[in-house]
Structure 1
Amino acid sequence: MSTTRLDQVALTGRGTHILLWAYVATSAVLAIWSIGEVVSPWPTLVGLGVLVGVGFLLMFDSAEPLHRSTALIAVIAWVAVAFLISWQLEQAGGHSQWYYGAGTVTMFFIGLRGRLGIAWVGFVAQSLVIVFWGSTTDFGTLTALLLVGKQLPILLVGTLFTVGLRRTTATIARLTEKTSNRAVVEAAQLASTDERNARLQELDAIATPLLARLVDGTPLTEADRLEFAVAEAELRDGLRARALTVPAVVSAARAARKRGVQVVLLDDRYPDVPDATTLAAITSELVEALGAATAGRVVARLLPSGRSEAATILSDSGTEQEHRVVLEPAAS
C-alpha cells in the first residue's frame, strides 16, 4: 500500500521549516562562539557547511516517508563531521561539541519523517565515533559515554513520539475510512428512498384514479379497460426501461397504445445511462416512430454499454416490411 497524507503526518510545512532553520541558526551560533576551543577552525567551518547542506536536503525532500537516499546521505555526513571535528577539541562537554547535538537532532528529524531505523543507525555510528575519540584521547572513555548519555534521551523521546504519531495517524485513518463508508451507505439509503418515493408518486398518479373507478362500483367500459391496459404498460416501462420513460416518450407511447399499437420499451444498458446528446437523439427517433405507428408493434431497446450501437427501434405494422432504426452513440 502506498503512503498517503492520511497515513503519514506531513512534517514538511512552513512551521517545520522554521523550526529546522532556527535550530541550524542556533547550532551555527554555538559553533562560532566556541571556535576558540578547537585546534583548527577549518573543520568547524566545514561542519557548518554540512549543517546548512543537510538542512536544505531535508527541506527540499518532501516525500513521506523521507527518501532512503536522503536519510543515508544525512547520516554519512554527520558521521564524517564527527570524525573531522572530534580530534580538534581542546575540551569536552562544551559548546565545541555542538556537532554531536546537531547530528542527534538530525536523526530525531529523520525518525519523525518515517526512517526510524536509519536514524538509530546514524546515532549509534555517530556515538561510536565519540566513544572512539574519548578512548584515544586524554578525555577518556567515561567522558565520551557521559556525552552519549546526554544525547540518547533526545532520540528516545523522538522514537516514542514517532511511534505514538504513527498510531494516532493510523487511528485517524481508520476513523476517516469508517466515516466515509458510513456516508456512502447513508447516501445510498437516501438515494434509494428518493427513488422509492418517486416510483410511489408515479404509481399514485397512474393507478389511483383507475383504482377509484374499481371501488366506486361504476360499470367498466371498453375505454376504461383500455386505460387499465395502458396504465399497466406504463408501469412496466418504468421498471424495464427507466431511461426511456421521459415525458415525450410516455405521451407518445400512451397515444400509440390507445390506437392499438403494441409498445415494448427495454433498457439493457442499466445502470449505465446514455449521454445527453445520444439520449436526446434516441428519444426524438422513438417519438417519431410511435407517432407514425397505427397498428402492429414498436420495440425500442437501449443496447448494453460497449456496443458500437446505442439503441435499436423496430417498427412492425404487421402488413408492411419491418422498419429498423439503429442509433450510434454521439461522437465524443
Structure 2
Amino acid sequence: MTLSPRPAPLDSELRVMRLLSVGAAVEAAVTVVDLLLVEQTDTLPLPTWYAIAAVAVSIFPIVVGVVAPASSARTLRRLNGVSAVSHVLVLAALWPALGFFPAGAPGGQLPWMLSVTGLVVIAAVIAWGQVGGWLTLAALILLMLGGRLVLRDITPTTNANDHHTVITAMLIVVLCSALLGASRTLDVSAEATASAASNRARESARRAALVRTQALVHDEILATLVFAAQNSAKLNPAVAQGAARIRSLLNDLAEGRVDEGACAARQFAAEATRITADADGVATFRWLPDTTSVASDACVAFIEPDAASTLLGALRQALVNSVGHAGTASSRTVTLTTDADELWLRLVIADDGCGFDTSAVPGGRMGISASILARVEALPGGSARVESRPGAGTLVALEWRGRAATTTAQEERDPAQWETTRRSFRRGVTVSVAVFLLVQFALAVNAAENSATPWLSLLTLAGVWLAVFTLGWRSFGRPSMMRSAVTVAIVAATAALMLLLAGRGSMDYWDSWYLMGCALVLFALALRGRLPMALLGAAALAIITALGAAHGLYASADVAISLARPVAIVAIGGAFAVAIARLHSKVLALQAQSLRLVQQEAYESATRVELRDGAARLEAQLGPMLARLEELGEPGASLMPTEAVECAALEGTLRDRYRGGRLAAEPLVTAATSARRRGIDVVLLDDATGDELSSAELTAVVEWMAARLDRAQAGSVVGRILPADRDGVASVVSDGSATLFRGRGAPANLPVVPRFEA
C-alpha cells in the first residue's frame, strides 16, 4: 500500500485574482476599441512623452491579464498595484504635461482614456483590498474633477460620462471585494474541512486497525495460548506453528508491511464477509467495487465509523431474521456495492425463502422495523427498505451515502466567518444601489436641463428605477424566470419610450444616459445567473437604439458610443458570470478531490501507526512467550507447568481486553492476572452500553472487583458491568453465588446483597 500524493493547496483567492486580472484586461481592450470608435473633437496638445505614457497605461492591464494565469498571488498584487498607481500618476501629471497652464487654463477635453476607472479599481482591489479600491476611486474622482475644472471641460456629455464610469467603478469595487473575501473565507474553510475530514479518517482508521488487531488476537493468538496452556504433546507442534505464524504477522505489522486490506472498503467487506459466514456458512457474499470510478484506487478509503458499525449491525440482524424465518434450507446472497467517488455503500441481503406480506405485519411487533430499518434510517445518509411477498423470498436493501466534499465544506465552514463576508457584501451592494439610484436621478436632471424633451428623462428615470426594484437586491440568489422576464421587459420598454416619444433630431449623447442605467441592471441580472435573459435585454437595447438612429432620433453621431458601452457592460457581466460559475465548479471539484486525498492519506498513515503500535504492544506482552512456544516444534519439547499457567493467564488477559471493555483497567487487570496464575478461571464482561457509568463510578467498580478477585482462592470468577435495566451497577459471580454492587456513585465498601445474577 502506497501513500497517496499530498493534495495541492486549494488557493481559491489566487484563482479569483487571476480571474479579475483577466477581467481588467478585457475591459482595457474594450476601452481601446471604444477609443478607436469615438473621436474627440477638442483635444489638447499633449507632449509626446505624456501621450506615450497614457497609451502605456491603457495597454499595461492587457499585459497583466495575459501573464495572470501563470502568475503567483504576490506577483499579481505587485503588477496590479503598478497598473493602478501608474494610471493615477498619469492623471495627476496632466498639469505638469501642460506646463502648469502658464498662460491660463487652456480649454479642451480630458483625454478619454484617463476617465476610465473600472479597470483601475479592479487592479487596486487586487493589490490592496476593498479599502485600497475605495481610496483609489476617491483619488480618481478628485483628479478627474480637478482636471475638468481647470480645462473647463464641464459639459452635459462629460457629466453623463463621469457619472457612468464612477457608478460602474463602485459596483466593480463591491463585486471584486466580495469575490476576494469569499475566496479567502473558502480557503480558510477548506483548511478546516480538510482538518476535520482528516480527523474523522484517522478515527475510522483507528477503529479499523483495532478490528484487525482483535481479529489477529481472536483468530490466532487466543487459540494458540489455549492449546499451549494444555501442554499436550499432540498439540505442541500445532502450537509451535501458530506461534511462528503469529510472530511473522506481528513483524509485518511492526515494520509497516500492511496489505491492501487497510482500505476502508476492504475492511468493511472483510467484516461483512465474516458476519455472513457466521450467520450462514453456505451463504454467498459478493463485493462489486465501482471499477469505473476515477477514485477506484481509493476504494472508498474513508467510511464514517458510525455508518460502518450501523450497517454491519443491520446486516447481522437481517441475516439472523432470514435464517430464522426462511430456514436453513433456503439460499442467501449478500451483495456489497461501493462507489469511491460518491462515498456510497449498498448492502443487499436476499433469500429465496417463503417470504411474507409486509403490509399484514403489525408495526408494533415487526422487529425488522426497529432492528434494521429504524437504525439505518436514523444514520445520516442512511436508507433502508424491505421487499417481500409470500412465496417470493425477501430482499433487504441497506444504503449509506457519505457526505460529499462540497457538503462537508459547507458543514465544516465557520458560520460566523461566512456571515461576516455576507454582511460586508450586503452592505456594499446596498450602498452601491442607493448611490446608483441617486446617480441615475442626477443624470436624468442633467439631461432634462439640456434636452428638448425634458419630461422624457423623468419618464426613463422611472423606468430604470422600476427595473432595479423589480430585480431586487435584498436577496442575491438567482431570480425567478418570471422576475427576470419582467425586468427585461421593463428595460426594453424604457428604451422603446425614447424611440416612440422623442422627436427627430431631439437627442444628444447625454440623453442616452438611460442606456447605461439599463445596462447595469442587465449586468446584475447576468451576475445573478440569468445570462440568457440579460443578453436578450442587451439585444433589445441595441436593436431599439439602432432603430432610433435609423429614424434620425439622434442629432449627432454619438450612437456608436451610446451603444458600445452598454453592450460592453452586459458582455463583461456575462463573461464574469460564466467565469465565476466555472471557477465555482472547478473549485468544488478540486476541493472534493483534495478531501478524498486528505482522507485517504490520513486513513493510510493512521492505519500504519495504529497497527504498528498494536503490534508493538502485543510483541512486548507476548514476544518471549511466543519465542518459547516456537521451540515446542522440536521433538520431545514441552512447557514447564508454570509456563502453561502463564499461557492461560496471558490468554485471559487478552480476552479481558477485548471482551471486558472498560473493566480492562488497573488494578483489576493485575488482580485478574494474579488470580489466573493461582489457577482461577476469570471472565470479565462489559455488558453496559453508552455512558451509564461516570468516571468515578467506573473507578469504584474496578477497585471493588479487584478486591474481590484478590480474596478468591479457587474455582471461577465472573466480573460483569450490568446493563442499564438491572438493579445494580456491577456483579461478581463466584462459586454459583453473586455479589451485587448497587448504586451509582456509591463507595466501594457499600454493603452487598447475595444474589445470583444470570
| TM-score between the two structures when normalised by the length of structure 1 | 0.68
User: How far apart in 1 are the matches of 2:741 and 2:697?
Assistant: 12
Matched letter for residue 317 of structure 1:
S
Q: Secondary structure at the match of 1:297?
A: strand
Of 693, 702, 707, which aligns to 1:291? 707
Please list, as runs of the form range in 1=range in 2, the aligned pairs for 1:110-125 lying within 5 A after superposition.
Answer: 110-124=525-539
Instruction: Tell me, yes or no, if structure 1 residue 205 matches structure 2 residue 620.
Output: yes
Instruction: Tell me, yes or no, if structure 1 residue 222 matches structure 2 residue 637.
Output: no
Instruction: Tell me, yes or no, if structure 1 residue 317 matches structure 2 residue 737.
Output: no
Is the alpha carbon distance of 1:88 and 1:44 closer, same or farther for their aligned partners in structure 2, counting shifts above 3 Å? Answer: farther
- Deviations for 1:168-187, whole angstroms, at most 9, x for unmatched residues? 22111111111111111222
User: How far apart in 2 are the matches of 1:14 and 1:156?
Assistant: 26
Matched letter for residue 78 of structure 1:
V
Please tell me whether the aligned partners of residues 516 and 565 of structure 2 are also in contact (alpha carbons under 8 angstroms): no
The structural deviation recorded for 1:29 is 4.6
The structural deviation recorded for 1:94 is 1.1
Q: Secondary structure at the match of 2:735?
A: coil
Matched residue, 1:154? 569
Higher RCO by CA contacts (8 Å cutoff, separation 6 or greater): 2
Instruction: Tell me, yes or no, if structure 1 residue 34 matches structure 2 residue 447.
Output: yes
Matched letter for residue 590 of structure 2:
L
Matched residue, 2:610? 195
Instruction: Tell me, yes or no, if structure 1 residue 185 matches structure 2 residue 600.
Output: yes
Matched residue, 2:683? 264
The structural deviation recorded for 1:192 is 1.9
Q: Which shows bigger deviation, 284-293 or 144-153?
A: 144-153
Is the alpha carbon distance of 1:315 and 1:30 closer, same or farther for their aligned partners in structure 2, counting shifts above 3 Å? Answer: same
Please tell me whether the aligned partners of residues 538 and 566 of structure 2 are also in contact (alpha carbons under 8 angstroms): no
Matched residue, 2:519? 104
Is the alpha carbon distance of 1:276 and 1:91 closer, same or farther for their aligned partners in structure 2, counting shifts above 3 Å? Answer: farther
Q: What's the C-alpha RMSD, in Å, of the aligned pairs? A: 4.8
The structural deviation recorded for 1:230 is 1.7
User: How far apart in 1 are the matches of 2:666 and 2:488?
Assistant: 72
Q: Which shows bigger deviation, 156-165 or 52-61?
A: 52-61
Of 142, 149, 166, which aligns to 2:581? 166
Please tell me whether the aligned partners of residues 20 and 55 of structure 1 are also in contact (alpha carbons under 8 angstroms): no
Please tell me whether the aligned partners of residues 463 and 494 of structure 2 are also in contact (alpha carbons under 8 angstroms): no
The structural deviation recorded for 1:103 is 1.1
User: How far apart in 1 are the matches of 2:680 and 2:570?
Assistant: 85
User: How far apart in 1 are the matches of 2:604 and 2:660?
Assistant: 22
Please tell me whether the aligned partners of residues 495 and 515 of structure 2 are also in contact (alpha carbons under 8 angstroms): yes
Q: Secondary structure at the match of 1:205?
A: helix
Matched residue, 2:697? 281
Q: Which shows bigger deviation, 273-282 or 156-165?
A: 273-282
Matched residue, 2:591? 176
Kindly tell me the number of residue pairs found equivalent between the two proteins: 313
User: How far apart in 1 are the matches of 2:622 and 2:661?
Assistant: 18
The structural deviation recorded for 1:112 is 1.4
Instruction: Tell me, yes or no, if structure 1 residue 62 matches structure 2 residue 481.
Output: no
Matched letter for residue 670 of structure 2:
S
User: How far apart in 2 are the matches of 1:279 and 1:44?
Assistant: 78
Is the alpha carbon distance of 1:185 and 1:153 closer, same or farther for their aligned partners in structure 2, counting shifts above 3 Å? Answer: same
User: How far apart in 2 are the matches of 1:276 and 1:192?
Assistant: 30
- Percent identity over paired residues: 23
Matched residue, 1:253? 672
User: How far apart in 1 are the matches of 2:541 and 2:716?
Assistant: 93
Is the alpha carbon distance of 1:209 and 1:237 closer, same or farther for their aligned partners in structure 2, counting shifts above 3 Å? Answer: same
Please tell me whether the aligned partners of residues 134 and 144 of structure 1 are also in contact (alpha carbons under 8 angstroms): no
